[in-house]
């Protein structure tokens, strides 16, 4: 009867080939998320209505392309010319119940939608950072290839920097957008209130024109 794997087997099986296999799996997983991140960043770049957010997204899109390349290079190096994964993973965007999602989408203004999406931007960047941090820890434990760990550290730094920017600026941008929206609503209300008076004025003008 074959011997069952014991816990020690996991601890002591530090052969470079198994570390490489785990590294390739981790790198491929990260790459699949970055592949999906590219799509989302391109969409956000088109849809965002805040110039400074657009600028930051554009910059991070470029970084993400470089991250993809870094991951592909390591997969290639460790896998002996192995073809990197082209599929896209699912990004960790919270999914509200369908009815609630429809309610939010159909009732939200352009500015409100920007605020919703900026929260998702932050969630994604933080999740990416968590993923890289966990991956680095695992590869350090496995005493995996140093160049691979370095590549993941570079990606992590960029995710953290963009996440920090979003965390700091999202509330300010949201406040600005919502203030503008409220001002706009107030102006519209005021205009509506004044309209009947203007109509009255027009009538007076018309009357005086006929009198003279």
In the complex, minimum distance from the CB of residue 34 to Fe ion, in angstroms, rounded to a whole number:
7
Q: Which of residues 63 and 181 has its CB atom nearest to Fe ion in the complex?
A: 63
Stretch of 109-117, 122-130, 149-157, 176-184 contacting Fe ion, by CB under 5 A? 122-130
Q: Which of residues 156 and 174 has its CB atom nearest to Fe ion in the complex?
A: 156
In the complex, minimum distance from the CB of residue 179 to Fe ion, in angstroms, rounded to a whole number:
29
Distance, CA of 21 to CA of 145 (rounded, Å): 11
- Per CB under 5 A, does 121 bind Fe ion? no
Q: Are 23 and 139 in contact (CB under 8 A)?
A: yes
DSSP 48-88: ---HHHHHHHHHHHHHHHHHHHHHHHHHHHHTTSPPPP---
Mark 14-53 with x for binding to Fe ion (rule: CB under 5 A) and - for no binding: ----------------------------------------
Q: Which of residues 19 and 118 has its CB atom nearest to Fe ion in the complex?
A: 118
In the complex, minimum distance from the CB of residue 60 to Fe ion, in angstroms, rounded to a whole number:
6
- Alpha-carbon dihedral angle through residues 171, 40, 36, 102, given to the nearest 10 degrees: 90
What region does 143 belong to: left with phi over 0, alpha with psi -120 to 50, or beta?
left
Q: Is 54 exposed, middle or buried (0-12, 13-18, 19+ CB in 10 A)?
A: middle
Residue of 47, 20, 67, 16 whose CA lies nearest to 118: 47
Distance, CA of 136 to CA of 66 (rounded, Å): 18
- Per CB under 5 A, does 159 bind Fe ion? yes
Q: How many residues bind Fe ion, per CB under 5 A?
A: 2
Answer positive or negative: Cα dihedral of 11, 13, 15, 19: negative
In the complex, minimum distance from the CB of residue 125 to Fe ion, in angstroms, rounded to a whole number:
5
Q: Which of residues 20 and 128 has its CB atom nearest to Fe ion in the complex?
A: 128
Which one among 40, 72, 128, 131 touches Fe ion, defined by CB under 5 A? 128
Distance, CA of 131 to CA of 176 (rounded, Å): 32
In the complex, minimum distance from the CB of residue 78 to Fe ion, in angstroms, rounded to a whole number:
23
Stretch of 18-26, 128-136, 185-193, 194-202 contacting Fe ion, by CB under 5 A? 128-136
In the complex, minimum distance from the CB of residue 22 to Fe ion, in angstroms, rounded to a whole number:
23
Interacting residues with Fe ion (CB under 5 A): 128, 159
């Amino acid at each position: 009867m074959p011997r069952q794997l014991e816990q020690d087997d996991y601890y002591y099986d530090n052969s470079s080939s198994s570390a490489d296999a785990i590294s390739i799996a981790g790198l491929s997983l990260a790459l699949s998320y970055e592949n999906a991140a590219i799509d989302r960043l391109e969409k956000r770049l088109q849809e965002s209505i805040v110039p400074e957010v657009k600028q930051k997204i554009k910059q991070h899109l470029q970084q993400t392309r470089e991250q993809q390349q870094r991951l592909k290079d390591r997969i290639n190096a460790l896998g002996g010319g192995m073809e990197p994964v082209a599929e896209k993973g699912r990004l960790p965007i919270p999914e509200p119940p369908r009815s609630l999602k429809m309610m939010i989408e159909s009732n939200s203004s352009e500015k409100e939608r920007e605020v919703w999406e900026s929260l998702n931007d932050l969630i994604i960047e933080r999740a990416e950072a968590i993923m890289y941090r966990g991956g680095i820890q695992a590869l350090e434990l496995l005493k995996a290839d140093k160049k691979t760990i370095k590549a993941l550290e570079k990606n992590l730094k960029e995710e953290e920097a963009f996440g920090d920017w979003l965390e700091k600026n999202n509330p300010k941008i949201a406040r600005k957008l919502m203030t503008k929206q409220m001002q706009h609503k107030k102006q519209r209300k005021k205009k509506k209130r004044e309209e009947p008076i203007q109509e009255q004025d027009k009538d007076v003008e018309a009357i005086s024109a006929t009198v003279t």
